[in-house]
Structure formats: structure tokens, C-alpha cells
Amino acid sequence: MVEKGGIIQLKNIDVTFHNEGKTIEAVKDVSINVNKGDIFGVIGYSGAGKSTLVRVINLLQKPTSGEVIVNDKSLTKLSVKDLRKERKNIGMIFQHFNLMRSLTVFGNVDFPLRDSKLSKQERKEKVNNLLNLVGLDDRANNYPSQLSGGQKQRVAIARALASDPEILISDEATSALDPKTTTEILTLLGRLNKELGITIVIITHEMDAIKQICNRVAVMEDGALIEEGNLLTIFGSPKKKLTKDFVNTSTQISSVLEEIKKSGIAGAISGRLVELNYIGNVTNEPLVVGLYKKFNVEANILFSNIERLQGTTVGIMLLALTGDDEKVSEAIKYLNELNVNVKEINIAESEED
């Protein structure tokens, strides 16, 4: 899975904590390769070890074993002083913003520049440019306590960018924000990725955040990396159960199925229940009409969700197919040929899950 030459390469990372005689394996043998320009998402429930894993990238968390290579330098082998220098190349933003309360917005963004070789005037210009970039130029003299959560995170982003890093790590940066602000912050991150070419690693427990900007995804469970790939693959054909759960929560199909089960209309649905997943142009074909015309199979659409991910259409549909049994089977075969992923759902059976 690991290709050569990514800007961030984690190799066989293990992180083990010893706490009061108990041994906790927070990260188990995880290898990740993030390419330059990626927006790499790491998703998992809390306690899955994703926070620990991203802290390994800038060695805020020292791995028990394994190697960390950033920009072709093995961080695990650097001296403390050299490591500090490399850290300036890795910006980081946090769930709770972590701004200095005693400094103004300007002071916070200027904070990492204090040791730079820039003159006072150059620093001032730089800070103002950064504030402009995140859309907070009119807030320079406010204190963090006077800002909203979204604004605080913008300040934190400006601060993280002050040392011109090539990498930005986002540790649950949108988890404390409301949905609208989350979208705004993610949009900003996406823009920074495009405009500055900055590589971004995002960790989150929200599939929607991943969906919005990531091009690659890794799924973590109990400290292990269980699935990794580009967004479309993960979203279109998730393999592991947890990955499916995340995708299902995001598309809401699981809640629809739940609803069907609970409401007792399961018995009223005639025919065979199928779930369709498809990526790309299939959507342009009039699927449902095609089924009727070709096989005389009627498709009752119980649920449908279509999204654009990275400019590609990804769809999910729940259909009840009625018609001649043989014909229905033929119809399913036909759908498979169209590269539609078809899964039959037995309501009664899935109840035992």
C-alpha cells in the first residue's frame, strides 16, 4: 500500500502507553504515505488512536517503534534542536484552537514569527496578509475571547501558516464548531490546499468533513489502520464494517433502513429490496426506466442520495424491485454489468445484526 516518496511517510508506527501497570496500545503497526498536495483524512471513533497517530507526524508523540519521514528527513533520528526546526514546517490546528488568551489576534499570528529574521515591518505585513487570507483583517486588535469559535479557528489557521509550512495537521479542528462554520473552515482549508499547495492531514470522526475536502482516506479502529484508499473508492465501495458504518451514517441509508424496520412497512413492501451503489457516469443512464423497459421490472425508489465528491458523482439508492422473479434476477445482473454495486437486503435478516 505504501508508495515511494510521499511528503509524510509513517512506517510501522507503534505507540504504547504504560499507565498504572496497564499497557495500552494506542497505535498498532500503522504505515501511511501522504503525497505532496494531498488532503489526507484519518477517520475513526474517539479512542481509535487517530489523535495519537497525527501527533507522531511532528513527534509531539514519540512512537514506541517505527520511523517518521517528513520531506525525506527521518524525524525520529534528528537531534532535539533539528526537530524543532523541522516542526516549523508542520503547522497544526486543534479542536480547542489553543490560542494565547493574553495576546490579540495580531499577537497570536505574530507569535511564531518572533524568532524569524523578518524586520518588524515585514512581520506586520505578513501577519496582515495572513489575516486577510483567512478573512479576519478587521479583527487584528481583538482578543480571542471576543471571537466566535469559527473566527478563533481562522486565527489558529493563520498562526499555523505563519512559518510557511508545507504541511498542515488538523486535529479535530472542526469538531467543536457548528455545521455551517465547519463547512466554512473546511472550505478555507480546501482553498489553502489549492492556492498554497499545502499538504493537509485531517483527523475527524465526521464522514461529512472527509467527504467535503479529502482526496484520500484512512480508517482507524482500535489503534489499527483498517482501510485506506482514495475517497471515491472508500466511499463507493467500502470494505470493512466500520468504513461502511461511516459511509452509511453520512448517506443516511442506515437510518432509512432502520425506519423501514421500525415502522413495520417492511411487510408492505413487495418485491426484492436492493441497495445500489455507483460511481461516475452510471447516474446519467435512466436506471429505473431502463429496468422497466428492458425487463418489465418495476422499481420503487425508497431512498436515493446523490453526491458530488471530487467532481465525480457518487450515488446510493434503495429500490424495491417487483416483477417476474427471473426477470428481476436478470435486471440485477444487468445493473452489475453497468458497474453498479448491488446488494440485496433482507429486512428480517438484517434485524439480527
Contact footprint for other proteins (CB under 8 A): 58, 60, 83-88, 90-92, 94, 96-103, 111-112, 114-115, 143-146, 156, 159, 163
Which CB, 111 or 292, lies closer to other proteins? Answer: 111
Environment class of 20 (CB within 10 Å of its CB; exposed 0-12, middle 13-18, buried 19+)? exposed
Shortest spacing between CB 177 and other proteins, in angstroms:
16
Residue in 209, 222, 175, 208 with CA at minimum distance from that of residue 50: 222
Which CB, 41 or 144, lies closer to other proteins? Answer: 144
Shortest spacing between CB 265 and other proteins, in angstroms:
49
Shortest spacing between CB 87 and other proteins, in angstroms:
4
Which CB, 87 or 211, lies closer to other proteins? Answer: 87
Pairing of strands 22-34, 8-19: antiparallel
Query: Are the C-beta atoms of 283 and 313 separated by less than 8 Å?
Result: yes
Query: Are the C-beta atoms of 50 and 220 separated by less than 8 Å?
Result: yes
Which CB, 21 or 267, lies closer to other proteins? Answer: 21
State the CB neighbour count (10 A cutoff) for residue 272. 19
For 347, residues 6+ apart whose C-beta sits below 8 A from its C-beta are 257, 260, 261, 266, 269, 273
Which CB, 106 or 295, lies closer to other proteins? Answer: 106
Query: What single-letter amino acid sits at 268?
Result: A
Shortest spacing between CB 346 and other proteins, in angstroms:
48
- Four-CA torsion 164, 169, 171, 172, nearest 10 degrees: 90
**Buried-state track 251-261, b at ≥16 Cβ within 10 A, e below 16:** bebeebbeebe
Shortest spacing between CB 191 and other proteins, in angstroms:
22
Shortest spacing between CB 147 and other proteins, in angstroms:
11
Which CB, 41 or 91, lies closer to other proteins? Answer: 91
Q: How far does CA 174 lie from the centroid of its chain?
A: 11
